[in-house]
Amino acid sequence: MQDLLRNIQIRVNEHIYLKDPESSEIGRKMLNESIGMIHELGIEAFTFKKLATALGTTESTIYRYFENKHNLLVYLLAWYWGWLEYEIVLITMNIEDPAERLQKTIESISDPLKGQLRHDLIDLKLLYEIVIAESPKSFLTKEVDVENEIGFFVNYKRICERIVKNIEEIDSSYPFARTLALTIVQCANQHRFFAMHFPNLTEISPQGTGTGTAVFLTDLVLKSLQNNK
């Protein structure tokens, strides 16, 4: 399975790019190299000029694929959410008990690298760290409503919806299924950031060792739902 899935295609909304970067060699290199650079420099210090130089090409080529670096970031994040949904589907398939399925989903979101799914082009470890450090910047902009309308965030929203349904299966009378689902997804990534940079603010340890986000979230969610029955 692992090998079978090394080349799955992740669907990314077509409005995010000008030309599909997965459709050409240089586009793929662009994705690969940009992940390395954004990870290293952060999105603020990252520029198309630097990316072009690293690729041995010019800015004009990159601008043919992405309108600007913000859209490139949105692309990478959308790719991540698309990939994560894939992983969640694989991990939860054939699990009948909805509570157990939710538990597995939370574990996937909290520790996505534990999954078996790998990709030839995309370095998932680096991409995941970009998600941790940069993802809120993708929607905390003045253009969020326009971008949302044309589908920039559909992959993210699909994951949320999936969790909402799962919660409703467990307890259809719980009145905050959506809010809770959003809390799960948001917290999973945030707490990892805080664990790394503000360790005093959380019991969660930065590396996999010790108490992880998944334990906290599972506890939080199941107690919340059990109590409502």
Binding residues (CB under 8 A) for a second copy: these are 41-42, 44-45, 133-134, 136-137, 139-142, 144-145, 148, 153, 157, 160, 175-183, 186-187, 190-191, 193-194, 197-198, 200-204, 211, 216, 219-220, 223-224, 226-228
CA dihedral 174, 155, 80, 14 (to 10 degrees): -170
Residue 59 engages DNA in binding (rule: CB under 7 A): yes
Least gap, CB of 64 to a second copy (angstroms) = 24
CA distance 16 to 47: 18
Residue 1 interacting partner from a second copy, DNA, none (CB closer than 5 to 8 Å by kind): none
Pick the closer one to DNA by CB: 56 or 208.
56
Residue 28 engages DNA in binding (rule: CB under 7 A): no
Pick the closer one to DNA by CB: 55 or 220.
55
Rg (C-alpha) for the chain, rounded Å, is: 18
Residue 49 interacting partner from DNA, a second copy, none (CB closer than 5 to 8 Å by kind): DNA
CA distance 31 to 55: 11
Shortest CA distance to 98 belongs to which of 10, 6, 23, 166? 166
Question: How would DSSP label each residue in 57-117?
Answer: S-HHHHHTT-SSHHHHHHHHHHHHHHHHHHHHHHHHTT---HHHHHHHHHHHHH-GGGSS-
What six digits make up the tokens of 192? 């990892």
Residue 19 engages DNA in binding (rule: CB under 7 A): yes
Q: Which residues here bind DNA, judged by CB under 7 A?
A: 19, 24-27, 45, 47-50, 56-61, 63-64, 67-70
